[in-house]
C-alpha cells in the first residue's frame, strides 16, 4: 500500500474537545432513570448502590486488598509480591506472580462439578449444534498445544488465528496461551492483504485457519485467503499453517466453492497434527505475570493499524472480575456474547472472561438475519439464553426489522441485556429493554476499548440505576475524568476528553514493535494520563455519556476503522490522487463512511468508478470497510500548511453548515465546489 496522505500526526484534540462539547446530542435531554429490577437486585452480587460505592472506594484506596480478594479463585502458581509498578507509560501488575491463564479458564474447573458442564455451545449458521464441556474443551486445547509444540512453537512466538466463529477458534487461542505463545486473532472479515500486513508486523510463525466459514448462506474460503496472504514475501515468517476441517466432507457445498488445497510441508490438517504430536507435552507453560498474552490489531488515527499488546495476569484479573460483576454470572447462566472472536469483545467476553468464571457460553457462527430476522430470538429461545451481550448497531437493525420477530419467540429466560461498541441511542435502549427484555431485565451499557482490555464504565445491573444512553459509572479500579485539551477538569455537563487517570490491570502494555507510538499516542497528549480518544461528558450524578471518537477513527456499525487506512487503500488505486475519509451520522450504523477523492487528470468520474473504488477498499481491507458514499472532487479543502480539513468534510458529508473557524482554509472556492457537488448529488 502507498503511504497515507498527510493528516495530523496526532489527533487535533483541541478542536476535537470543542467539537465533543458541541456534539452533545439529544441524549442531553434524556432524563429517564431505571432502578434495577427488584427481582434481579435481590439475587445480584452487588445489590445496592452503597455496596458498589464501598467496593469502588476500596478498589482505589486499597487496590492490593481488592485485587487479592477478587482474584482469589484464579490459579497463580506463584503469588504476586507487588500489586503495581508504574513507570509512565509502563505498568506492571501483580509483579512476581507466575501463571498460565488456561489453568484459570480450564484446569481449575476440572476438579469439581463444572468438569462436565458445557463450556461452549456452538450453533452453526446451518443449524448444527456442538457442545464442548469443560473437560472436552481442555482436551482439545491440550491436543492443539501439543500440536503447536510439535511445530516448534514456544513461549513468545507469534501465532496468527484467522477463523470464523467456531469453537475451535477459542481452542486455538487457548492452545497458544497454553504454550506461552502470543496469539493475534485476525477477524475473518478482513481481506488477505490486511491479514498479510498483520502477519508481517508481528512476524507470525504459524497461521491457524479453517477451510471455510458460513456467512449469510455463503462460504467464506478462509484457507484460500490465507494462501493469498502468504503468497507475499512480506509474510515469509510463516512456516506452518494449521487447517481445521469445518466443512462436512459429505455435505453438499456450493458449486463455486473450490476445495481446499494443502501445500505439502507447510500445511497441516488440524486433527492429523494432533495425532502426530501425541508425544509432546501439554503441560501449561508457566509464565511471569507480564508475559504477553495476545496482540490485537486495531485502527488508530494515523498509519497502519497498531498491535495492542496485552499481558497475562493483569488481563486475566480484568476480564475475570468484570465478567463476574457486570454480567452477574451464575452457575446456571447461558451467556451469549454475539461479538466475533476477531474483536476484543470476543477475546474478553466470549473466551477469557466467561471461561475464567466457569460460565456456559453460546457461540453462533453466522449472520443475525439468516435465514431471517428471527434467528437471534430463535437461538435465545432454543438454548434458554439468560444473558445477551450485543451491539447497538444490531439492536437498531432489529428495531427496523420489526418487533414481530422477537414477539414470535419465548424470551422469558433472559435476565440481563448488555450493550457494547458504540453509543446506544435512548430509542434503541428502550426498544431493547421492552421488545427483547420484556421490561424485566436490566440493560447494561458497557464502555471500553481494545486498549482497555476489559469494561471500564458501566451501570452495575443490580446496584446502580440505568439512564438510557449513558454508560454509567466507573468500574472498580477505574478513575476516569473529563478534561479539556490542557488536561484541566471541565465542569459537570460540559463536554471534553475522556481520560483515565490511573493504571488498571488489563490496560494495553505497548504497541507491538512501537513503544514510542504507544507512549505518544496514549500518554503525551494530556499530561501523563491515558487518553481514550473519546469525547464525553459527566452529568451531575457522576454518570458518563460517551459521545464518540474525537480523533480520526470511525465507528461504522460497531467496527473501528481508521480514516488513514481507508485513505491509504484509496490512493493505492491507479485513478486516485488524493482521498479523505470521514464519518456521517447514520441511523442504522451509527456512522456511515463517506470518502472524497480527487482523480488523476483525464479520468472520468461516474457511478461505475465510484463502485469500483468502493470495491477496491473492500478488496484491500475487507468488505466491512467499503465506503457507503464515494464523492469526486476537484480538490480537497486544506489548511495553509497542507493538511486536509476533515472537520469541513464531515460537515459537508452530514449536510450541515460549517460553524468552525475557516480562517486557516487555503482556498475557499474548494468549499463551495464541494457544497455544490453535494447539492448536485442530493
- The correct pick among 225, 243, 394, 420 for binding ligand PRX (CB under 6 A) is 420
Q: Specify the long-range contacts of residues 672-680, CB closer than 8 Å, at least 24 apart.
A: 673/633, 673/634, 673/635, 674/596, 674/631, 674/633, 674/637, 674/648, 674/649, 677/631, 677/632, 677/633, 678/631, 678/652
Q: Smallest distance from the beta carbon of 426 to ligand PRX, in angstroms? A: 13
Length of the chain in terms of residues written: 682
Assess contact for 391 and 419: CB atoms under 8 A.
yes
- Among candidate residues 175, 151, 448, the one with its CA nearest the CA of residue 294: 175
Q: Smallest distance from the beta carbon of 533 to ligand PRX, in angstroms? A: 6
The strand pair at 213-215 and 267-269 is best described as: unpaired
Choose the stretch contacting ligand PRX; rule: CB under 6 A; options: 10-18, 172-180, 343-351, 596-604: 343-351
Q: Smallest distance from the beta carbon of 423 to ligand PRX, in angstroms? A: 4
Nearer to ligand PRX, 449 or 673 (CB): 449
Nearer to ligand PRX, 358 or 477 (CB): 477
The Cα 532–Cα 141 span in angstroms is 35
The Cα 338–Cα 113 span in angstroms is 27
Q: Smallest distance from the beta carbon of 357 to ligand PRX, in angstroms? A: 19
Taking CB under 6 A as the rule, which mask of x and - marks residues 537-556 in contact with ligand PRX? ---------x-xx-----x-
Nearer to ligand PRX, 205 or 306 (CB): 306
288 backbone dihedrals φ, ψ, rounded to 5°: -70, 160
Under the binding rule (CB under 6 A), the answer on residue 298 touching ligand PRX is yes
Under the binding rule (CB under 6 A), the answer on residue 422 touching ligand PRX is yes
For residue 339, give Cα distances in angstroms to 67, 385, 394, 421.
28, 15, 10, 10
Under the binding rule (CB under 6 A), the answer on residue 344 touching ligand PRX is yes
667 backbone dihedrals φ, ψ, rounded to 5°: -135, 105
Count of residues in contact with ligand PRX, rule CB under 6 A: 23
Nearer to ligand PRX, 361 or 420 (CB): 420
**Would you call 673 exposed, middle or buried from its count of C-beta atoms within 10 A (0-12, 13-18, 19+)?**
middle
**Would you call 377 exposed, middle or buried from its count of C-beta atoms within 10 A (0-12, 13-18, 19+)?**
buried
> In three state form, how does the secondary structure of 496-533 look?
EEEEECCCCCCCCCEECCCHHHHHHHHHCCCCCCEEEE
Under the binding rule (CB under 6 A), the answer on residue 591 touching ligand PRX is no
Q: Smallest distance from the beta carbon of 107 to ligand PRX, in angstroms? A: 28
Nearer to ligand PRX, 187 or 270 (CB): 187
Under the binding rule (CB under 6 A), the answer on residue 100 touching ligand PRX is no
Under the binding rule (CB under 6 A), the answer on residue 386 touching ligand PRX is no
Q: Smallest distance from the beta carbon of 403 to ligand PRX, in angstroms? A: 23
The Cα 617–Cα 581 span in angstroms is 11
Q: Smallest distance from the beta carbon of 79 to ligand PRX, in angstroms? A: 30
Nearer to ligand PRX, 143 or 428 (CB): 428
Q: Smallest distance from the beta carbon of 531 to ligand PRX, in angstroms? A: 11
Report cis status (omega within 30 of 0) of the bond before 249.
no
Q: Smallest distance from the beta carbon of 220 to ligand PRX, in angstroms? A: 21
Assess contact for 324 and 357: CB atoms under 8 A.
yes
- Among candidate residues 54, 45, 282, 346, the one with its CA nearest the CA of residue 150: 282
Nearer to ligand PRX, 386 or 471 (CB): 471
Q: Smallest distance from the beta carbon of 458 to ligand PRX, in angstroms? A: 9
Q: Smallest distance from the beta carbon of 545 to ligand PRX, in angstroms? A: 9
Choose the stretch contacting ligand PRX; rule: CB under 6 A; options: 253-261, 373-381, 414-422, 499-507: 414-422
Q: Smallest distance from the beta carbon of 224 to ligand PRX, in angstroms? A: 27
Q: Smallest distance from the beta carbon of 329 to ligand PRX, in angstroms? A: 18
Can you tell me whether residue 232 is helix, strand or coil?
Answer: coil
Q: Smallest distance from the beta carbon of 556 to ligand PRX, in angstroms? A: 11
Say how many C-beta atoms besides its own lie within 10 A of residue 615's C-beta.
14
The residue sitting closest to ligand PRX, measured at its beta carbon, is 450
Q: Specify the long-range contacts of residues 108-115, CB closer than 8 Å, at least 24 apart.
A: 108/73, 108/74, 108/75, 108/358, 109/134, 109/358, 110/134, 110/135, 110/138, 114/358
Choose the stretch contacting ligand PRX; rule: CB under 6 A; options: 186-194, 355-363, 487-495, 526-534: 526-534
- The correct pick among 423, 480, 583, 627 for binding ligand PRX (CB under 6 A) is 423
Nearer to ligand PRX, 349 or 405 (CB): 349
Q: Smallest distance from the beta carbon of 391 to ligand PRX, in angstroms? A: 8
Under the binding rule (CB under 6 A), the answer on residue 534 touching ligand PRX is yes
Under the binding rule (CB under 6 A), the answer on residue 305 touching ligand PRX is no
Q: Is the dihedral of CA 214, 220, 224, 227 positive or negative?
A: negative
Under the binding rule (CB under 6 A), the answer on residue 445 touching ligand PRX is yes
The Cα 440–Cα 450 span in angstroms is 31
Assess contact for 105 and 356: CB atoms under 8 A.
yes
Choose the stretch contacting ligand PRX; rule: CB under 6 A; options: 63-71, 339-347, 357-365, 608-616: 339-347
Q: Smallest distance from the beta carbon of 549 to ligand PRX, in angstroms? A: 5
The strand pair at 544-549 and 530-538 is best described as: antiparallel
Nearer to ligand PRX, 11 or 221 (CB): 11
Residues 17-36 that bind ligand PRX (CB under 6 A): none
Taking CB under 6 A as the rule, which mask of x and - marks residues 477-516 in contact with ligand PRX? ----------------------------------------
- The correct pick among 297, 447, 504, 530 for binding ligand PRX (CB under 6 A) is 447
- The correct pick among 83, 133, 425, 450 for binding ligand PRX (CB under 6 A) is 450
343 backbone dihedrals φ, ψ, rounded to 5°: -110, 170
Nearer to ligand PRX, 59 or 301 (CB): 301
The strand pair at 457-458 and 443-447 is best described as: antiparallel
- The correct pick among 232, 413, 449, 658 for binding ligand PRX (CB under 6 A) is 449
Taking CB under 6 A as the rule, which mask of x and - marks residues 462-481 in contact with ligand PRX? ---------x----------
For residue 471, the number of C-alpha atoms closer than 13 Å in the C-beta half-sphere is 27
Which are the contacts of 117, defined by CB distance < 8 A and separation ≥ 6?
109, 133, 134, 331, 358, 360
The Cα 325–Cα 38 span in angstroms is 17
- The correct pick among 356, 446, 485, 506 for binding ligand PRX (CB under 6 A) is 446
Element (H, E) at 192: helix 192-202
Residues that bind ligand PRX (CB under 6 A): 298, 343-345, 420-423, 445-450, 471, 532-534, 546, 548-549, 555, 560
Amino acid at each position: 500500500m502507498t503511504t497515507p496522505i498527510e493528516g495530523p500526526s496526532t489527533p487535533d484534540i483541541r478542536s476535537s474537545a470543542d467539537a465533543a462539547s458541541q456534539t452533545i446530542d439529544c441524549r442531553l435531554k434524556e432524563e429517564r432513570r431505571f432502578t434495577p429490577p427488584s427481582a434481579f437486585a435481590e439475587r445480584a452480587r452487588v445489590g445496592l448502590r452503597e455496596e458498589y460505592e464501598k467496593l469502588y472506594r476500596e478498589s482505589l484506596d486499597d487496590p492490593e486488598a481488592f485485587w487479592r480478594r477478587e482474584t482469589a479463585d484464579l490459579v497463580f502458581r506463584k503469588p504476586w509480591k507487588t500489586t503495581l509498578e508504574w513507570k509512565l507509560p509502563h505498568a506492571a501488575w501483580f509483579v512476581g506472580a507466575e501463571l498460565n491463564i488456561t489453568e484459570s479458564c480450564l484446569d481449575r474447573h476440572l476438579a469439581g462439578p463444572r468438569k462436565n458442564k458445557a463450556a461452549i455451545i456452538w450453533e452453526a449458521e446451518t443449524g448444527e449444534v456442538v457442545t464442548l464441556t469443560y473437560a472436552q474443551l481442555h482436551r482439545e486445547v491440550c491436543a492443539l498445544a501439543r500440536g503447536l509444540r510439535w511445530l516448534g512453537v514456544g513461549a513468545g512466538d507469534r501465532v496468527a488465528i484467522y477463523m470464523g466463529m467456531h469453537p475451535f477458534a477459542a481452542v486455538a487461542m487457548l492452545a497458544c496461551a497454553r504454550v506461552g505463545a502470543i496469539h493475534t486473532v485476525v477477524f475473518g472479515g478482513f481481506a488477505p492483504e490486511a491479514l498479510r500486513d498483520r502477519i508481517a508486523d508481528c512476524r507470525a510463525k504459524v497461521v491457524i485457519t479453517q477451510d471455510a466459514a458460513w456467512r449469510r448462506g455463503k462460504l467464506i474460503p478462509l484457507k484460500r485467503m490465507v494462501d493469498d496472504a502468504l503468497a507475499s514475501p512480506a509474510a515469509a515468517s510463516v512456516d506452518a499453517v494449521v487447517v481445521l476441517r469445518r466443512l462436512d466432507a459429505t455435505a453438499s457445498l456450493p458449486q463455486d466453492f473450490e476445495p481446499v488445497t494443502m501445500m505439502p510441508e507447510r500445511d497441516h490438517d488440524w486433527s492429523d497434527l494432533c495425532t502426530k504430536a501425541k508425544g509432546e507435552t501439554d503441560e501449561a507453560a508457566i509464565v511471569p505475570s507480564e508475559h504477553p498474552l495476545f496482540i490485537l490489531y486495531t485502527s488508530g488515527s494515523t498509519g497502519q493499524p497498531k498491535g495492542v499488546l496485552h499481558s497475562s495476569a493483569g488481563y486475566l484479573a480484568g476480564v475475570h472480575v468484570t465478567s463476574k460483576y457486570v454480567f452477574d454470572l451464575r452457575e446456571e447462566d447461558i451467556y451469549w456474547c454475539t461479538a466475533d472472536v476477531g474483536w476484543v469483545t470476543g477475546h474478553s467476553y466470549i473466551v477469557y472472561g466467561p471461561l475464567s468464571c466457569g460460565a456456559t457460553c453460546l457461540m453462533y457462527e453466522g449472520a443475525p438475519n439468516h435465514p431471517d430476522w428471527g434467528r437471534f430470538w430463535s437461538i435465545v429461545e432454543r438454548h434458554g439464553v439468560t444473558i445477551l451481550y450485543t451491539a447497538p448497531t444490531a439492536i437498531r437493525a432489529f428495531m427496523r426489522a420489526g418487533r414481530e420477530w422477537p414477539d414470535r419467540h419465548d424470551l422469558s429466560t433472559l435476565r440481563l441485556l448488555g450493550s457494547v461498541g458504540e453509543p446506544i441511542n435512548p430509542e434503541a435502549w428502550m426498544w431493547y429493554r421492552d421488545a427483547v427484555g420484556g421490561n424485566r431485565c436490566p440493560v447494561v451499557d458497557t464502555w471500553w476499548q481494545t486498549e482497555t482490555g476489559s469494561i471500564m464504565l458501566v451501570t452495575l445491573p443490580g446496584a446502580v440505576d440505568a439512564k438510557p444512553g449513558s454508560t454509567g459509572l466507573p468500574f472498580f479500579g477505574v478513575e476516569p475524568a473529563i478534561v479539556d485539551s490542557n488536561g484541566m477538569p471541565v465542569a459537570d455537563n460540559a463536554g471534553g476528553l475522556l481520560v483515565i487517570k490511573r493504571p488498571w490491570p488489563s490496560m494495553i502494555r505497548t504497541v507491538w514493535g512501537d513503544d514510542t507510538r504507544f507512549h505518544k499516542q496514549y500518554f503525551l497528549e494530556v499530561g501523563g494520563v491515558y487518553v481514550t480518544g473519546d469525547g464525553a461528558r459527566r452529568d451531575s450524578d457522576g454518570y458518563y455519556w460517551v459521545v464518540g471518537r474525537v480523533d480520526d477513527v470511525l465507528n461504522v456499525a460497531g467496527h473501528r476503522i481508521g480514516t488513514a487506512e481507508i485513505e491509504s487503500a484509496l490512493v493505492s488505486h491507479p485513478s486516485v490522487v488524493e482521498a479523505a475519509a470521514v464519518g456521517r451520522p447514520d441511523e442504522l450504523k451509527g456512522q456511515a463512511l463517506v470518502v472524497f477523492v480527487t482523480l488523476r487528470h483525464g479520468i472520468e468520474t461516474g457511478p461505475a468508478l465510484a463502485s469500483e473504488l468502493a470495491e477496491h477498499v473492500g478488496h484491500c481491507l475487507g468488505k466491512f470497510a467499503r465506503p457507503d458514499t464515494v464523492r469526486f472532487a476537484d480538490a480537497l479543502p486544506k489548511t495553509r500548511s497542507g493538511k486536509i480539513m476533515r472537520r469541513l468534510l464531515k460537515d459537508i458529508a452530514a449536510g450541515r453548515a460549517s460553524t468552525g473557524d475557516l480562517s486557516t482554509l487555503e482556498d475557499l472556492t474548494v468549499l463551495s465546489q464541494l457544497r455544490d457537488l453535494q447539492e448536485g448529488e442530493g
